[in-house]
Amino acid sequence: MTHPNTTRLSSRLRLLCGLALLIGLCIMLGGLARPAHAQSTLSVSDCSSDAQLQAEVAQANSDNAGDVITFACSGDLKLTSTLSISGRMTLSGSGQRVTLDGGGSLQVLSVNSGSSLTLNTLTIAHGSAPGDGGGLENFGTVSISSSTFANNSASERGGGLDSQEGTVTISNSTIANNSGGDGGGLDLWQGRVTISNSTVADNAGGGLENVTGTVSISGSILANTSGNCSSAGGTYIDNGYNLSSGGCITSGTSLQANPQLGSLANNGGPTQTLALLKGSPAIDDIPLASALCPAADQRGHKRPDNPHESACDIGAFES
């Protein structure tokens, strides 16, 4: 016969276990139901120093919610330290003329593994790195549009940009006047880079270096000193309607010729570009039917520039 005290003790233990399970379930459900941080729009109103920008980047890193940082000022914003991206965010200079300036002494941007950065309508200039990536070094995911990387340098590789791993997407942008031991414009160690409707030109140390990754190019101009494409085992894919001053060309729709470019200059719009000179073979070479003509060029000018035309220009500039 079971002793009454034993029965009461057993009932209490079952009750306590049930309560513990219920409390644990409530805690778990409460954690799941807790709302994620909502995406915010942050604004930089002072371009005379980088203090506000650094603070907004730190906030966006903390939020990790894809915050959008905009600018309510124009100017050459001198950095006191590298902008380190450890979350998800967008830096957009749309409506302003903003340069993120490394002053020739520091790397401008660094994107950590697992992080993502969208860069829109900005100039990245005068970045410097002792090894890789004067303008930007990437270990995560980067998307660049309507922007210019100019006058950045690295002693080894990737004067303009260096992607160690992850992915980089570049559209309607200019990479010019950068320098590096290899890949003066851009260096890819591993991962993937996709370039469309962009101009990579006048970079010292070569335009692109691809060590073990994949670089896909369409509707773009390549014209650099010391060669356009080098590879230690990486793959280049010509997706059509490119113009190269030498190398990188495999598609039957691409051209190998002198693109006849002007110097990097203010040609309208918020960022500097390389204009196509009269008679350039890049003019009106991409048929609209190819689906490789975006609605506007880097400056925001309509493509094609004439409503009666059925083709747009190769590169970031529509003449």
pLDDT tens digits along 50-71 = 999 999 999 999 999 999 999 9
Asked whether residue 304 is domain-assigned, the answer is no
Average pLDDT over residues 138-163: 98
Examine the pLDDT at 301 and tell me if it is beyond 60.
Answer: yes
* Composition of the chain by helix, strand, coil, percent to 5: 15, 35, 50
Asked whether residue 319 is domain-assigned, the answer is no
Asked whether residue 17 is domain-assigned, the answer is no
Determine the pLDDT at residue 62.
98
Asked whether residue 95 is domain-assigned, the answer is yes
Let me know: does 178 contact 204? Beta carbons within 8 Å: yes
Q: Which residue segment(s) compose the domain that 173 sits in?
A: 41-261
Asked whether residue 7 is domain-assigned, the answer is no
For CA atoms 268, 273, 277, 281, the dihedral sign is: negative
Query: Quick one: which H or E segment has residue 108?
Result: none
The least confident of 32-46, 103-117, 176-190 is 32-46
Determine the pLDDT at residue 34.
39
The least confident of 23-27, 113-117, 296-300 is 23-27
pLDDT band at 4 (very low <50, low <70, confident <90, very high): very low
Determine the pLDDT at residue 36.
61
Let me know: does 224 contact 245? Beta carbons within 8 Å: yes
Asked whether residue 302 is domain-assigned, the answer is no
Average confidence score pLDDT of the chain: 92
Average pLDDT over residues 148-161: 97
Helix (H, G, I), strand (E, B) or coil at 210: strand
Q: Beta 199-201 vs 174-176: how paired, if at all? A: parallel
Asked whether residue 117 is domain-assigned, the answer is yes
pLDDT band at 26 (very low <50, low <70, confident <90, very high): very low
Asked whether residue 25 is domain-assigned, the answer is no
Determine the pLDDT at residue 115.
98
127: domain CATH number?
2.160.20.10
Determine the pLDDT at residue 37.
76
Examine the pLDDT at 22 and tell me if it is beyond 70.
Answer: no
Number of domains comprising the chain: 1
Let me know: does 174 contact 293? Beta carbons within 8 Å: no
Determine the pLDDT at residue 9.
41
141-145 sheet: strands from edge to edge: 41-44, 67-71, 88-92, 116-120, 141-145, 167-171, 192-196, 214-218, 235-238
Examine the pLDDT at 279 and tell me if it is beyond 70.
Answer: yes
Is pTM beyond 0.85 here?
Answer: yes
Q: Which amino acid is at 200?
A: V
Average pLDDT over residues 17-41: 56
Determine the pLDDT at residue 11.
52
